[in-house]
Structure 1
């Protein structure tokens, strides 16, 4: 393994995404075999380079000296999400076909939302992943504000 394979900047910072997973091997296979990432480190922690970022995965566990009182665990309720991975692609239809053929189960096919075409998929632990392609936003067309926000549509 080379230093440049690891999420370890020589200056400044970079962003990674950490996932607490139930089964490292199963999650590693999803992010590498289905989404096309490259396994940098198998375990402890598992690191998969994906596009221009990294997914870091480890099983859950109890508090540690640097995070006292905090327990890590995968999502428990599939109908609730407090954050999600957002993957931007150049060709969402191609991505949808490719990942579906590799076993990804999308919630819906890609849907045109004016500003973007997007759809959602879950990883093996239930983490929600938004997959989107910028369309209208490239021309100054943006999505309507969320219902009940009081903001006027764009």
Structure 2
């Protein structure tokens, strides 16, 4: 996995894609992503911004509408077993990442499973967001 990321605040080539997570407790979620996944904290809160290898996570509280999104409520997943979004993390050695993140307190749904074209496993963050960790073993060859 690459460890460098473009500058979040001043993208070199026009934009930087990030993933926004709406959470119930910013401090708890920031600590999880820092401790378990090894993300680097760029900004502590309001919102929290973490660099995660070659991308960023923005972590913010639940809340009501704002002037630029007047009919939108920000809410963490209410049912963690109903999937509407997930992060996919592609790695070169899924077993090594699984072992490392488990040693840091990550709780996986299963151990890595071989599906022929990829090996993958899943864990949840404190708000129930699903994180897929996968290693391609031929998925682009089909």
SS state at 1:86 partner? strand
Aligned to 2:61: 59
Structure 1 runs, 4 residues or longer, greater than 4 Å off: none
1:3-152 map, 5 Å: 5-137=7-139, 140=141, 142=142
Separation in 2, partners of 1:6, 1:42:
15
| TM-fit CA distance, 1:7 | 4.4
* Structure 2: stretches of 5+ with no match in the other structure: 1-5
Cα deviations across residues 28-64 of structure 1 (Å, max 9, x unaligned)? Answer: 1111111011000000110000010000001010001
Coordinate RMSD, CA, aligned: 1.3
* Structure 1: stretches of 5+ with no match in the other structure: 143-154
Aligned length: 137
Cα deviations across residues 74-107 of structure 1 (Å, max 9, x unaligned)? Answer: 0010110111111011110010011011110001
Moved more, 4-13 or 58-67: 4-13
Q: Which has the higher contact order (CA 8 A, sep 6+)?
A: 2
* Residues 5 and 40 in structure 1, CA contact (< 8 A), matched pair in contact too: no
Separation in 2, partners of 1:95, 1:7:
29
Larger Rg: 1
